[in-house]
Structure formats: C-alpha cells, structure tokens
Amino acid sequence: METEQGGAVKAIFDGEVVSVFDVEGQSNVLVRHGKYFSTYGNLSSSSVSKGQKLKAGDVLGKAGSNSDGNGEIEFLLLQENKNLDPAVWIRNR
C-alpha cells in the first residue's frame, strides 16, 4: 500500500498489540481486534509494544519505503484465519 515515506501509520480500529517483530530490518506490528487481526509491515520504526491497548487512530509507527524509494507499508486484515479486503477499513488521512 503506497503512502508517504516516514508518515504516521495508525491503527484501523481499537485493539491490542499482539506482537512487534522485525523482518529484514523493518518493524512489523500485529494487532488483535476481537476476532479480527491487522498486520502493519515495512515500518521504518514502531512506537508500540506487546500488550499495549490501542484506540482507532493511535500511531503504531512510521512508514518505510519500497525498493524504488517510495513510501510503502504492507497491510493485511484477517478474520480469524481468513484474509479480508482491507479497503473498507482504511481512511485517507
């Protein structure tokens, strides 16, 4: 998902941070929203910790970039173990 490099990445809904982990030098955050999960990947930095309670709009970290140097994050939304289309959950801000 294209975004501004270094821009704030925000929680899509109230939830709890399940995990903060590193993949190839980039931060990733997994958030539980009841039976839903959202994953925010390719963050240049994260500002949350495991177990932290979140409100919709809370900042999770800053967006990283892709191989072309453009701002980009990896965003996944799941209902239990089923992938969902995240478009309806995302706000342009």
- Structure confidence at residue 27 (pLDDT): 96
Q: What is the pLDDT of residue 46?
A: 97
Q: What are the backbone angles phi and psi of residue 60, rounded to the nearest 5°? A: -95, -30
Kindly state the tokens that stand for 69.
């140097």
Q: What pLDDT score was predicted for residue 93?
A: 46
Q: How far apart are CA 11 and CA 9, in angstroms?
A: 7
One pLDDT digit (tens) per residue for the chain, 93 residues? 788 889 999 999 999 999 999 998 999 999 999 999 999 999 999 999 999 999 999 999 999 998 888 899 999 999 877 877 767 666 554
Location of structure tokens 């892709």: 66
Domains of the chain and CATH, by start: 8-80 (2.70.70.10)
This prediction has a pTM of: 0.86
